[in-house]
Amino acid sequence: MIDRIGQRLGHYRLIRKLGSGGFADVYQAEHIYLNTLAAVKLLNANLASGDIQNFHNEARTIARLAHPHIVRILDFGMEESIPYLVMEYAPNGTMRQRHPKGTQVPLSLIVKYIRQVASALQHAHTHRLIHRDVKPENLLLGGNNELLLGDFGAALLTRTSLMLSAQNIIGTISYMAPEQLQGRPSPASDQYALGIVVYEWLCGSCPFQGPLAVVHNLQLYEPPPSLRARIPALSPAIEHVVMKALAKQPEQRFVTVQAFAEALEQASQHIQAPPPPLFLSGNGGVQGHTTLKATETVHWWC
């Protein structure tokens, strides 16, 4: 797509390019009258005349997704048959920038993040929208460092001829559920993608890596490598929750993405701190601050 810096779209002037992807180019823009900032996403798709109304319908649906953890749609339109969205500007970047590849994120932070993202996804699913491209690059940070689910570009094109003819390449393969790779996305596909994000944050890398064709086949047919093999200190309860979200069959995952987030939080609450060190008392005995029953097991995250 050509560089459009300086171009005006509606009431917005594009002032700098924020990024590019297979789906779209994103620009920072300024309202010509209000001097407020926004992000403008130009989708890499020339829509046929029959698709334009479908795009408008989907854009209106997304614009109605009023939720504290979903990037707001401010406007939308067409520029020479190329659809674009005007969205609120997230000033603090993305979760990929906050936690680069290879970074292990503390479990307490992961639980906090997933609670916000799952709430946003559940809201979208209630409105019959599947995101289809959940990944750290599409999780933005707002002015108060709250998480914002962004980039509904794939959902926007869901009823267009482009989407119907290219189902198997819409999204990011490293995060795509088997059924989405086969052209049958469902709300459970977003749960799978979020499970991949949790897996990556826990151990620093996605479960499947390599050339696209290799990752494609691994997503379809191979179970994810054990998390505890990579992180021996990880609680079995946490691993169980993540692996359930990554089940190959959608019906074997949690009933909803919200249920996944709640299960992850519940499992994390069962992880207790190790007991404090024992010390000698004045009479030579051994004392400690915590007494455990013989049947209790203490796990901790490190």
pLDDT tens for 287-296 read 443 433 333 3
119 and 80 share one domain: no
Does the pLDDT value for residue 89 go beyond 60? yes
Question: Of 88, 105, 136, which closes a domain?
Answer: 88
Range(s) of the domain holding residue 260: 95-269
Assigned domain for 244 exists? yes
Question: Of 69, 88, 107, which closes a domain?
Answer: 88
Active site residues: 133
Does the pLDDT value for residue 299 go beyond 80? no
244 and 106 share one domain: yes
127 and 251 share one domain: yes
Amino acid at 199: Y
| Sheet order of strands, 8-9 included | 8-9, 12-20, 24-31, 37-43, 82-88, 73-79
65 and 99 share one domain: no
Does the pLDDT value for residue 300 go beyond 50? no
Does the pLDDT value for residue 94 go beyond 50? yes
165 and 47 share one domain: no
How far, in Å, CA of 207 to CA of 218, rounded?
9
141 and 215 share one domain: yes
Domain tally for the chain?
2
pLDDT averaged over the chain? Answer: 84
68 and 104 share one domain: no
Give, in order, the Cα–Cα distances in Å from 11 to each of 6, 77, 193. Answer: 12, 11, 35
111 and 255 share one domain: yes
275 in Cβ contact with 289 (< 8 Å): yes
For the chain, what percent of residues have pLDDT higher than 70?
80
Of the ranges 76-85, 115-124, 144-153, 290-299, which one carries the lowest mean pLDDT score? 290-299
Of the ranges 130-144, 153-167, 280-294, which one carries the lowest mean pLDDT score? 280-294
Does the pLDDT value for residue 252 go beyond 70? yes
pLDDT category at 168 given cuts 50, 70, 90 is very low
Task: Find the mean pLDDT for residues 75-97.
Answer: 89
**Half-sphere exposure (Cβ direction) of 257: Cα atoms closer than 13 Å:** 28
75 and 99 share one domain: no
Assigned domain for 281 exists? no
Assigned domain for 291 exists? no
